[in-house]
Chains A and B, each alone.
Chain A
């Protein structure tokens, strides 16, 4: 099995994927519909929207100083949501990659001596 050309292709794949996600979060998010979404609409229609906690536990986290929902606080309005989207996309990407890196065991084919790793 030859894997020689693989690393370069992987780079291109995940750079394209991450790049388009950043474009969506940074570019398209300003055009998102501001209508209430499914559950929100149901809550409004049936009068239980007021049951949502006014001071939920997440407001006590340090991140609340930086983000008001999907809006980065210290920047001007038009940039707040796109920047929050970009930060969120990068954080999500890194965390998911990290979780994968920690849990998935290394590919034996990528090691120096293929087949040297006995199956557990």
Chain B
């Protein structure tokens, strides 16, 4: 085929898919459907919650947050061992926008990647939204909130530490979910999938933590009032956009 013949000469940024994006063919139908079900349910819940509780001023940050996460996901950073990784962004979106608007933002990012750029399969889009988005926006947000509460909710230092730890954790947990889905689909044995995914994503998570921390600290310094749950010391003259 012409396409296959041309393939070696085509300059490829990396591979047909990037990072934890699962391509079509890796997951079987039942696993894909369960992931679709989970993703649709949580996105529908997020739509309702955003409608009910968010205010106007969240909208520009939703746009900017989505644009940044899309752009940052294109930048694969090298990790030791001839592998690379990139930001997933679920935790970043959850911290900046809260779990509900954060979820909508991540869903938009993965839809654009799958529809426009064939990055991540369409049949497994539910799984990708779940592993890389919802694990970070929901799991990440509530872990971040718990850590912040434990460390002192109103201090920036607590917020920074919570962001970094949560970002790292969300990548590792997302990778574990991905491994589990691959194993349940019969693609690769569970132990193999878990160890292999873990080895790389323990390191990729460090990049996630650094980038998320950088982005959150930039917003905190420039527009603290836009953050979902800003520390009280951040800027009393701004009003949180949540009702």
Contacts and interface: CB of A to CB of B under 8 A. Distances in A.
The residue among A16, A77, A89 with the most chain B CB atoms within 10 A of its own CB is A89
Given A33-B84, A37-B83, A56-B118, A95 B108 contact: yes
B74 A25 contact: yes
Contacts, number: 270
Interface string B29-67: 000000000000000000100111011111111111111
Interface string A91-117: 111111101110111110010000000
Given A24-B74, A57-B123, A69-B119, A33 B14 contact: yes
Q: Which of B13, B17, B57 has the most CB of A within 10 A?
A: B13
Contacts of B119: 69-70
Given A96-B108, A99-B104, A103-B104, 13 more contacts: A10-B60, A13-B60, A24-B72, A40-B19, A43-B26, A48-B182, A58-B122, A71-B11, A81-B74, A85-B74, A99-B62, A100-B58, A100-B101
Top 9 A-B residue pairs of the complex, sorted by shortest distance between their CB atoms? A96-B66, A17-B64, A97-B63, A107-B56, A25-B71, A93-B67, A100-B59, A33-B84, A53-B24
Given A37-B86, A38-B200, A103-B47, A58 B56 contact: no
Task: Tell which of B12, B26, B64, B175 has the most Cβ of chain A within 10 Å.
Answer: B64
A104 B58 contact: yes
B23 interface: yes
Interface size class of B (residues with CB under 8 A): 35 or more
A104 B105 CA distance: 13
A25 to B, nearest CB: 4
A52 interface: yes
Nearest to A64: B118
Contacts of A45: 196
B68 A37 contact: no
Contacts of A97: 59-60, 62-63, 66
Interface of B: 10-26, 47, 50-52, 54-72, 74-78, 82-86, 101, 104-105, 108-109, 111-119, 121-123, 175, 178, 182, 187-188, 192-193, 196-197, 200-201, 204, 222-223, 226, 239
Interface of A: 1, 9-10, 13-14, 16-18, 20-22, 24-25, 28-29, 31-43, 45-46, 48, 51-53, 56-59, 61, 63-64, 67-71, 77, 80-81, 84-85, 87-97, 99-101, 103-107, 110, 120
Contact of A88 (B24, B105, B117): B117
Contacts of B70: 21, 25, 88-89, 92-93
A101 B56 CA distance: 8
20 contacts: A9-B223, A13-B60, A25-B74, A32-B74, A32-B84, A34-B76, A37-B18, A37-B83, A40-B14, A41-B83, A48-B182, A53-B24, A56-B23, A56-B123, A58-B118, A91-B112, A92-B66, A92-B108, A93-B70, A103-B51
Given A25-B74, A61-B115, A38 B56 contact: no
B83 A24 contact: no
A63 B196 contact: no
Nearest to A10: B60
A58 B14 contact: no
